[in-house]
Structure 1
Amino acid sequence: IYFLSAVKKGASQTVIGLIFGCYAVCNLIGSLILGKYIVQIGAKFMLVTGLFVSSGCTILFGLLNRVPAGPAFISLCFVVRSVDAVGFAAAMTSSFAMTAKIFPNNVATVLGSLEIFTGLGLILGPPVGGWFYQSFGYEVPFMLLGCFLLIMVPFNIYVLPKIDADPSKDSFIRLLTKVKIVLICYVIFTLSAGLGFLDATLSLYAINTFGLSTGYVGLIMLGLSLPYCLASPLIGYFTDKYPATRSWFMVTGGAATALGFCLLGPVPFLHIPSQLWLLIIMLGVIGFSLGMTAIPTFPEIITCAYEQGYEEGLSTLGMVSGLFGAVWSLGMFYGPVVGGLITQHLSFEWAAAVQGGLAFFAVSISLFSMYCIAYA
């Protein structure tokens, strides 16, 4: 929805990528700071405040269509997205930490189950948003989403428990001294970079290549979101029951992600023509592999943190949540910005191939690390 309006307002593919990228940068900074001070701020207060800020920014984003084209529109896009990013960082960092605190033995299962609703949002968001856009214009989808988020504020104030904890003196730096955590962070980076790339480029590619309307582009996104929605709870339950399988799921999922991106275009040197059915199938592969890879990463970092001697409590969980959110945001910055540049100067096919290369490199270093650990 936003891409078409932004292009009409004079924003290039690169500028659109930078607007998405600034969201990721502010999210990264916010995740690290809020994750470090989650105990001092309060997990419940952080979540509720983040929801409130994000809801307001979503409503404001819907009003940007009334701003004159050119620098004024682009500047306000940067401002609103930046503030929204901090609100989202607060909500996500606190929600992940609270989930791990309340369900310490079933972190992956609960997160995987919650990701069903993320998948439902991805499933319903594009087609419903596209329909509202076609029927009522640019403003209505953002207004409805912002109001829905606003309703969640009093609901969460009433439902969520208050969690008291003592602040910790540990830091992110010591967390990153463990090689395995750094490798997991790179895996997270490749996943979010791929998603960020698709967010910034897939809609325009599908419209220009296959002549699709906005509504049909939303339906295509079902190929990504539905498999993710199905995979997340299954992988979460299985990895909680058999924790030793987490690394193998990350490797297998990464390999599938690499294959999916290389055939998404497909990559030009294969000389395979672009086909709509192939695009949808590869989105399905990427969606399922995302669930395979992403769900085990968070509990695995928690396990590594405890092995490093971190205290078992909200403070550690907040730092892990902040680190997860920061690395995810770093990928969400890289994906739209670099992917947008490659798409603009080369092609979507080459940009997708680069994302596949990142995932393949993650698989390679993960396998090497697992081999070294087994040999030792």
Structure 2
Amino acid sequence: MASKQRRLIALSLGLSLYIFTGLNDTFWTSFFPTEMEKKGISKTTVGNIASAYDLAGLISSIFMLFIQDENMRLFMFCSGSVVVGVGCMSFGQLIHGPSGLTFITMSFITRCVMGCGSTLLWCSGATVLIALFPQHTGRICSLFESAASLGAIIGAPIGSLLFALGGYPLPFWVVGWIQIVLPLFCFLGYPARVSNGYEKIINSKDEGEQKPTGGVLSFILNPGVLCVAFAAIVTVSSFGFFNVAFSPHLEQQFDIGSGRVGLFFLSFTVSRLAIAPFFGYYIDKGYSGLIFITFGCFLSAICFAILALSNQVSILKNIISLEVILGIIGLSSTAAFLPIIVLFQKVYLRQRPECVGVVDSFAATMSNLCYTSGLILGQSIIGGSIFEYFGFFNSCMVEAIICGVATVLAGVYLAKNELIIVKNNRVAKEDPEKYQNADD
């Protein structure tokens, strides 16, 4: 394999794409709603324009499950960033075009294209970066989660600064151009001899051996995959729920205006950034199932139950308690999302061990599908309809109930199949000598 130094450089360049992808998700939020209001566009329409990104990501993730060519992973990873960058710049220029229905339609189309590009990046990026250090899957997953979280945290302040310096188009030009240029360095700097991840190590014993394959339907319909996916979607929905429900709740309960709301999101985002490397380390040690069930699903259920009852308990009726609980939910939602690539690999290979050659791509794509589905569930259903008709506290109770159900279902399955703690890495188990030499 390529030298460790070369692979570290490639990893750093790849993670930089995730930073700017996370930044692209939030840099426009500080000024976009206000500018759209000036054009006479309603808040509901603005929300729909924003969610078009996630809807396109969900649909394109399904298609990506059927496109599993390891020789194209690096190209798709880099081209995904280019697509997002071009879409970002185009989105910023629409402000100069016609208003009304034409503007709204073009905004929808542009956001959908960006969502498809993001899917290419996320579905291919995991396998591309994991292939650099296949024995550290958990830590690699934690790194790109941390990178995206860091980008999301700094996005709004950077967007505000660029908007103040050059008006509406400048933030889109700057972020878009960086996302176009940066992947060129990633493509050129990626080691040529690192391409196929786990299967490169496992299947190199016999050069004439045909790489085992498996059907996408057998992966999707695997009971363990379905169980883990359901639990992940439910817990990840907290991301989308707080995106749309937290700001109105702060204004109603604590009279905190939109100009200060961003500061109160920090406990959620910073806790995700801080805890991800810790979880990544223990995922590599074999505790992916324990982290997923205990810290992810169960802790999310408890925290949302506390939020649901906080209106009835005087000691919890303050902003400090709300921020503490929000920070813990940031921790638990991260714990529910980070291990799912490893868990998908484990539960699928337990029944189909001959499919080691394709499981990485399936797992990475399925994780993105779970993420986008969770965002839509949180934004449109729980944070949308349920929040509108039943209020914040009842919405939190719904989150608590479905997280509790997910905890039971996933916990029973993983415990029954002895996947709560699995300390033997499948690469090391298959070929210890090649595993030891993977960092040479």
Per-residue CA deviations over 1:300-340 (Å, capped at 9, x if unaligned) read 11122222234333x33212211221122122222211122
Name the structure 1 match of 2:331.
288
Whole-angstrom distance in 2 between the partners of 1:328 and 1:219? 24
What's the % identity of the aligned pairs? 21
Q: Which residues in structure 2 correspond to 1:257-336 (within 5 Å)?
A: 257-264=300-307, 275-307=318-350, 308-313=352-357, 315-336=358-379
Change (3 A) 1:305 1:197: same
Name the structure 2 match of 1:251.
293
Match of 2:275 among 222, 231, 247: 231
Q: Which residues in structure 2 correspond to 1:33-52 (within 5 Å)?
A: 33-39=63-69, 42-52=72-82
Change (3 A) 1:319 1:373: closer
Residue 217 of structure 1 deviates from its aligned partner by 2.5
Residue 268 of structure 1 deviates from its aligned partner by 5.0
Match of 2:154 among 124, 133, 138: 124
Change (3 A) 1:219 1:144: farther
Name the structure 2 match of 1:112.
142
Whole-angstrom distance in 2 between the partners of 1:228 and 1:109? 14
- Count of residues paired in the alignment: 371
Whole-angstrom distance in 2 between the partners of 1:265 and 1:102? 44
Per-residue CA deviations over 1:17-75 (Å, capped at 9, x if unaligned) read 44344322321222232343241770111111111110111222333444555433332
User: What is the TM-score of this pair, normalised by structure 1?
Assistant: 0.86
Per-residue CA deviations over 1:54-112 (Å, capped at 9, x if unaligned) read 01112223334445554333322321111101100001111111123332221001211
Name the structure 1 match of 2:54.
24
Name the structure 2 match of 1:141.
171
Whole-angstrom distance in 2 between the partners of 1:70 and 1:269? 45
Change (3 A) 1:337 1:94: same
Determine if the alignment matches structure 1 residue 366 to structure 2 residue 396: no
Residue 211 of structure 1 deviates from its aligned partner by 4.6
Whole-angstrom distance in 1 between the partners of 2:250 and 2:38? 18
Name the structure 2 match of 1:345.
389
Which deviates more, 175-184 or 8-17?
8-17
User: What is the TM-score of this pair, normalised by structure 2?
Assistant: 0.74
Match of 1:160 among 187, 190, 197: 190
Q: Which residues in structure 2 correspond to 1:26-105 (within 5 Å)?
A: 26-39=56-69, 42-66=72-96, 70-105=100-135
* Structure 1: 5+ residue stretches without partners: none
Change (3 A) 1:42 1:81: same
One-letter identity of the residue aligned with 1:344: E
Which deviates more, 20-29 or 42-51?
20-29
Which deviates more, 289-298 or 125-134?
125-134
Change (3 A) 1:269 1:76: farther
Whole-angstrom distance in 1 between the partners of 2:386 and 2:100? 23
Change (3 A) 1:137 1:247: same
Residue 131 of structure 1 deviates from its aligned partner by 4.9
Determine if the alignment matches structure 1 residue 189 to structure 2 residue 233: yes
**Are the counterparts in 1 of residues 138 and 284 from structure 2 also a CA contact under 8 Å?**
yes
Change (3 A) 1:21 1:114: closer
One-letter identity of the residue aligned with 1:34: M
Change (3 A) 1:371 1:157: closer
One-letter identity of the residue aligned with 1:236: G
Determine if the alignment matches structure 1 residue 220 to structure 2 residue 264: yes
Whole-angstrom distance in 1 between the partners of 2:97 and 2:317? 37
Whole-angstrom distance in 2 between the partners of 1:354 and 1:306? 34
Per-residue CA deviations over 1:110-139 (Å, capped at 9, x if unaligned) read 211232222211321233334555676544
Greater Cα radius of gyration, structure 1 or 2: 2
Change (3 A) 1:350 1:145: farther
Which deviates more, 250-259 or 12-21?
12-21
**Are the counterparts in 2 of residues 9 and 73 from structure 1 also a CA contact under 8 Å?**
no
**Higher relative contact order structure (alpha carbons within 8 Å, sequence separation ≥ 6):** 1
Residue 360 of structure 1 deviates from its aligned partner by 2.1
Name the structure 2 match of 1:199.
243
Change (3 A) 1:274 1:59: farther
**What SS class does the counterpart of residue 135 from structure 2 fall into?**
coil
One-letter identity of the residue aligned with 2:171: P
**Are the counterparts in 2 of residues 20 and 200 from structure 1 also a CA contact under 8 Å?**
no
One-letter identity of the residue aligned with 2:304: F
Name the structure 2 match of 1:172.
216
**Are the counterparts in 2 of residues 267 and 352 from structure 1 also a CA contact under 8 Å?**
no
Change (3 A) 1:14 1:348: farther
**Are the counterparts in 1 of residues 234 and 406 from structure 2 also a CA contact under 8 Å?**
yes
Residue 266 of structure 1 deviates from its aligned partner by 6.1
